[in-house]
A and B are shown apart, each in its own frame.
Chain A
C-alpha cells in the first residue's frame, strides 16, 4: 500500500471504519513508514484535542427561562390544531387524513374548473331531441371550428391516401359530411348511416417506412416526436447488438396532436436512409345513441374537438 492510499484512509482508520484486511495493511505500513506513522499520530492528537473540549453548563436560570417561553407560546398549545391532530394519529391514519382532505379540496375546486373550461370551450347548445324536455327538435348549431392553424409554414406534400389534414379524432356527422365534400370516399369508408343526426369518426393512421436500419430510424423518430408535443406509447422490434445494423422490423406506437400529423410525416420523409412507402388511414365510426347524460357528452365533444389527439402506428421495415 502506498503512502497516498494510506493518507486517504487515515480518517476512516481513526474511526475503525476500514475492513480488517485493509487495517492489517495499514498497520503494516505504519511499522515501516515513519512519515505516515507521524501523520496518524497528528490525526489522533487533533481528535483528542477536539474531544477534550469541556462540557459547558448553562446559566442557572436557563431551565426557568425555557419553561417561561414555553408557557407564553401563542395559542397556549404546543402545535397548531391540524398538526396536533395529525401528530396524535398513527402514521397510516395521518396519511389517510391528508389524502381525504386533499380529495375534498379537489372535489370542491373541480366544478369551478369545469365551469372555466366551459367558458373557454363553450359546448354546442343544441340538445338532442330525445334528451329535450319538449318533443320539438331543437335547431342544430354549427360545430365548433376545427381548422386549427398550422404553426409550420412549409408546404406539406399530399399524402398517399388523401385524408383531410387538421381534422380532430372525434367529430360530428355534420363535420364528416363537410369532410365528404373534400374526400368523397369518407362517408362510405366511415359507414355512417345517412339518417344519423350525430356520429363519431375516429381516424387511426398507420404508416409504413423502409429504412436501412429500422432501429436507428425508430430512434430518430423517438427524438422527433417529443419535439412535436407527442409521446411515445410503445416500441416493438428486434434487439440488435451494438455496432450491428438491425434487420428485423420495428413498430412504433405514438400519440400526437392531429394538427401535427402532416408535419411529423414531413420530418420522417427527411430522415436520411428512410423512405415512406405506405400511409393508411382507418376510419372507425359509430352513431351516437341517446344517453341520459346528454349534456356531459356535449362537454366531451367540446373538449375533444379543441384538443384532438391521435394514435399513430409506424411500422419500419428493413430495406
Chain B
C-alpha cells in the first residue's frame, strides 16, 4: 500500500496571503476577488463534486458559492482562516442543495456514476484504470453515507482539516466532530469491507 499525498493541503503561510487579498478586496480592489477565485476554485469544485456526486451540478454550485463569497466578504472578520470560512459556505451550500434536489434528479445522478471522474486535461494522464475504478468505488460508497457523514469524512481525510477546523466549519463541538467522524469511518469501512479485505 503506497501512501498518497493529499490532493489539497493548505500551507500555514496561506493565512497571511489570504488576509492580504481580502483586505485588498475590502479596500475596493475587484481584482483581489478574482485572485481568490483562481486560488480556491479547484478546491471548492472538488469538494462540491465529492459531496454532490455530480460534476456539472458541482460547477454551478461552485459558482453560486463564489457569488455568495463576493456578497459576504465584507462580513469576513478574520476570526477564522479564510479557507475555513470558505469551506463553511461550501458545505452549507452543498448540503442545502442536496436537500432541495428532487428524488428524480438523484436517480439521474446515480445513472451517471463516473461523470465526476472527468479530469481536466492538465491532470496526470498516467493514472491507471485500477485507480480510476477505485475512485469510482469509493465515491459510490461515499454517496451511501448521509450527507453529514460524507462531508465530515471528506473534510478530514480528503481536505486534511484538523478537528478544530472541522468544528469551525460545521459549527460543532470538537468532541462531536471526533465521534461523528468515527461513526462515518466505521460505516464507510463496512461498505468497503469486501474490497479492503482484498487489499489486505
Contact-size category for A: 35 or more
Please give, as numbers and ranges, the residues of chain A lying within 8 Å of B199 by CB-CB distance: 42, 45
Shortest distance between the CB of B12 and any CB in chain A (Å): 18
Contact with B along A37-58 (1 / 0, CB 8 A): 0100111111111111111111
Please give, as numbers and ranges, the residues of chain B lying within 8 Å of A15 by CB-CB distance: 156, 163, 181
Tell me if B172 is interfacial: C-beta within 8 Å of chain A.
Answer: no
Q: Is the CB of A50 within 8 A of B67?
A: no
Among B38, B70, B116, B119: residue with most chain A CB under 10 A: B70
Tell me if B100 is interfacial: C-beta within 8 Å of chain A.
Answer: no
Contact with A along B5-34 (1 / 0, CB 8 A): 011100000000000000000000000011
Contact with A along B179-199 (1 / 0, CB 8 A): 001100110110011001101
Tell me if A106 is interfacial: C-beta within 8 Å of chain B.
Answer: no
Tell me if A227 is interfacial: C-beta within 8 Å of chain B.
Answer: no
From residue 65 to 123 of chain A, which have CB atoms closer than 8 A to chain B? 65-67, 69-70, 73, 78-79, 83-84, 87-88, 91
Q: Is the CB of A56 within 8 A of B185?
A: no
Please give, as numbers and ranges, the residues of chain B lying within 8 Å of A42 by CB-CB distance: 189, 193, 196-197, 199-200
Please give, as numbers and ranges, the residues of chain A lying within 8 Å of B101 by CB-CB distance: none
Please give, as numbers and ranges, the residues of chain A lying within 8 Å of B200 by CB-CB distance: 38, 41-42, 45
Question: What is the CA–CA distance of A17 and B41 in the complex, to the nearest angstrom?
Answer: 31
Contact with A along B62-79 (1 / 0, CB 8 A): 110011001111110100
Q: Is the CB of A57 within 8 A of B4?
A: no
Please give, as numbers and ranges, the residues of chain B lying within 8 Å of A10 by CB-CB distance: 182, 185
Question: What is the CA–CA distance of A70 and B63 in the complex, to the nearest angstrom?
Answer: 10
Please give, as numbers and ranges, the residues of chain B lying within 8 Å of A78 by CB-CB distance: 70-71, 73-74
Tell me if A141 is interfacial: C-beta within 8 Å of chain B.
Answer: no
From residue 8 to 26 of chain A, which have CB atoms closer than 8 A to chain B? 8, 10-12, 14-15, 17
Q: Is the CB of B42 within 8 A of A50?
A: no
Tell me if A63 is interfacial: C-beta within 8 Å of chain B.
Answer: yes
Q: Is the CB of A58 within 8 A of B158?
A: no
A-B interface contact total, Cβ < 8 Å: 147
Q: Is the CB of B1 within 8 A of A50?
A: no
Q: Is the CB of B163 within 8 A of A17?
A: yes
Q: A9 — nearest CB in chain B belongs to which residue?
A: B182
Shortest distance between the CB of B25 and any CB in chain A (Å): 9
Contact with B along A253-274 (1 / 0, CB 8 A): 0000000000000000000000
Tell me if B110 is interfacial: C-beta within 8 Å of chain A.
Answer: no
Question: What is the CA–CA distance of A66 and B33 in the complex, to the nearest angstrom?
Answer: 10
Please give, as numbers and ranges, the residues of chain A lying within 8 Å of B173 by CB-CB distance: none
Tell me if A59 is interfacial: C-beta within 8 Å of chain B.
Answer: yes
Residues of chain B at the chain A interface (Cβ within 8 Å): 1-4, 6-8, 33-34, 37-38, 41-43, 45-46, 49-50, 55, 59, 62-63, 66-67, 70-75, 77, 116, 119-120, 122-124, 127, 131, 134-135, 138-139, 142, 153-154, 156-158, 160, 163, 178, 181-182, 185-186, 188-189, 192-193, 196-197, 199-200
Further 11 A-B residue pairs, CB within 8 A, beyond A62-B59, A83-B75: A11-B181, A17-B163, A38-B200, A46-B188, A46-B189, A47-B157, A56-B120, A57-B122, A66-B67, A79-B71, A79-B74
Closest 6 CB pairs of A and B: A57-B120, A87-B74, A11-B182, A52-B4, A50-B157, A42-B196
